[in-house]
With several copies, the nearest count.
Chain A
Amino acid sequence: MIRVRNLWVDLGEFVLKDANIDINHGEYFVILGPTGAGKTVLLESIAGLYPLKEGRIWLNDEEVTKLEPEKRGISIVYQDQMLFPHLSVKDNITFGLRIRKMKPAEIERTLSWLAGLLGIQHLLSRKPDTLSGGEKQKVALARALSVKPRLLLLDEPLSALDPNSREILQRELRSIHEEYRVTTVHVTHDFEEAIALADRVAVIGDGCVQQIGTPEQIFRQPGSEFVARFAMVRNIFRGEVVEGEDGDARFRVDGVNLSVVTGHRGQYHASLRPEDIIVSHAPFPSSARNSFVGRITGIADKGSTLLLTVKVPPDFVCLITRNSFDAMALSIGDTVYLTFKASAVNIF
């Protein structure tokens, strides 16, 4: 288990303030934040590679705050791999084992296990600069795993790869984690990547931890506007939660009352995922408590799906599949009905 308490990291240009993070043993923990939010520095601080301004770090109940990086048992994989260019792939992978003066036979055993695990047996005698991005990243991963780390840090490991290699390596990461359960902290700016891999996600931005939760929670119940924007919740409203006639809550924005499920009352934000809105030509009977009529003012083509902007008066952004879009023959200016459940609206 990793505990990070009151971490302040001074980055010169800005400061990561008072970060508190707990990561469970064997967990795949993803730190999600925009580029330049200090994610790399956070990882380097945990690994002892960056001086802390303040704060303490525990690793399996041992405080490592002041420990030299080589004594922490924490491996790191960078976005651009940082393979040692003067060493062969084999010597890269076995670097940590040779430093430990491990017996040659044992080094060979570890090497062949890792090479098999990642499918890089054919690369062992090559030099790093002859490898593709995906191959390099596998070698970096093998090198990081070679020393059997207590904690594996991945710094945007997929960002520099082309889409194909990215998907392959993402699957690989998931399956290695499922097999060996190395506690992993994975940093990324890619929301989909976070959702696909994480047991839990921490969203950081504006120099602090914004929210920690399961991917589902981050996705459906963002706790701040920052997180909501990051999770691509395209409908974020600022308004007031009031008591309806039936005693249930209503969220009032631009003269429209949305039925919502919340105990809060007063000024709040509401967020609503675009895929949770059903678009139809006519109102239809359903259990969904919200139904509005509006006019399409914008259509953005995303390939398999499209985003409609519908003016009710507040603008709702709705996601529909290309099939439905074609079937309904929608175009700008059309009047459509929007239907969504009260429970789909997240109040924060």
Chain B
Amino acid sequence: MEKQWLKSNKLTLTFILLGAIIFLFIIVPLFRMIFASDPGILRETLFDPEVTKAILLTLWAALIATGIGFVLGVPLAYLLARYEFRGKKIVEGLIDVPIVVPHTAAGIALLFVFGRNFFMGSAFNSVGIQFVDSTAGIVVAMLFVSIPFLIDSAKEGFKKVDVRLEKVARTLGASSWQTFFRISFPLAWRSILSGNIMMWARGISEFGAVIILAYHPMIAPTLIYERFETYGLTYSRPVAVLLILISLIIFVVLRTLVQRGKQR
């Protein structure tokens, strides 16, 4: 309430106008495409086995990436929220790098490390996991581009948990593990969940890094690209609409639910 102090003066009106332009620029393409779609064709597309397979693969691969990110990213987020050390800013900067590394270049870098003939690729290959043109490759690409969102969100969540709550728990007899699982984690849970949702959605969105590692099996963004290249806009549109709807549902709906819960 405190925030609503400005009267609707010229500044506010100008800003509303400018802000509306960029807001419309974001939502009009998405909603116009969704609402211009023929529901019949959409339904048909949904039952196209190639489409179904691609979408399920996308959701599944992104979910695995999110799971791996959760197990490895949450501990890192906790450390970054609680400790100060030399070079922390640099570590934090590097963690955000995947957001801004050009996607195809990221794909090349991952291929270079995880490809059959290289380094870790050959190590994994010896235990039967290979990354080129496989689901594992898709997961790795998705994990790489989407992990910063989970780490950043979980870190903010842990930062909001007063360290003195943990201190009190310790004095009451809780070990550092008990303190983490009974106090820190439950209290940061909503931020961690938001981060997971964001990470999952971001994984689904990836294209550039994935096609370098694995054009096949085909994920939905690749399928859209292939249909666009082969048949043109009209045939790629229904798949795009479906995928946008799925992203919107995962992102806006789940996130809104999480935030609504936050306000009790």
Chain A residues near B (Cβ < 8 Å): 10-12, 44, 47-51, 68-70, 72, 74-76, 78, 82, 84-86, 95-96, 99-100, 143-144, 146-147
Task: Give the distance to chain B from A186, nearest Cβ to Cβ, in Å.
Answer: 16
Known: A51-B7, A82-B162, A99-B178. A69 touches B1 (CB 8 A): no
Does B187 lie within 8 Å of A85, measured CB to CB? yes
Chain B residues near A (Cβ < 8 Å): 1, 4-5, 7, 9, 162, 164-165, 167-175, 178, 182-183, 186-187
Which of B9, B162, B164, B173 is close to A147, meaning CB atoms less than 8 Å apart? B173
Known: A82-B165, A84-B165, A86-B186. A76 touches B1 (CB 8 A): no
How far is it, in angstroms, between the C-alpha of A214 and the C-alpha of B179 when the chains are bound?
Answer: 39
Does B175 lie within 8 Å of A70, measured CB to CB? yes
Does A100 lie within 8 Å of B167, measured CB to CB? no
Q: Tell me which residues across on chain B come within 8 A of A48, comparing CB atoms.
A: 170
Task: Give the distance to chain B from A144, nearest Cβ to Cβ, in Å.
Answer: 8
Does B1 lie within 8 Å of A75, measured CB to CB? no
Task: Give the distance to chain B from A149, nearest Cβ to Cβ, in Å.
Answer: 8
Q: From A44, which residue of chain B is reached at the shortest CB distance? A: B167
How far is it, in angstroms, between the C-alpha of A167 and the C-alpha of B167 when the chains are bound?
Answer: 28
How far is it, in angstroms, between the C-alpha of A78 and the C-alpha of B26 when the chains are bound?
Answer: 40
How far is it, in angstroms, between the C-alpha of A99 and the C-alpha of B179 when the chains are bound?
Answer: 10
Does A96 lie within 8 Å of B186, measured CB to CB? no
Q: Tell me which residues across on chain A come within 8 A of B186, comparing CB atoms.
A: 86
How far is it, in angstroms, between the C-alpha of A12 and the C-alpha of B3 when the chains are bound?
Answer: 12
Known A-B contacts: A78-B168, A100-B173, A144-B172. Give 17 more (CB < 8 A). A11-B1, A49-B167, A51-B7, A68-B9, A68-B175, A72-B171, A74-B171, A76-B167, A78-B164, A82-B165, A82-B168, A84-B169, A84-B187, A96-B173, A96-B174, A144-B171, A146-B172
Which of B1, B168, B182, B187 is close to A12, meaning CB atoms less than 8 Å apart? B1
Task: Give the distance to chain B from A343, nearest Cβ to Cβ, in Å.
Answer: 45
Q: From A129, which residue of chain B is reached at the shortest CB distance? A: B264
Q: From B164, which residue of chain A is reached at the shortest CB distance? A: A82
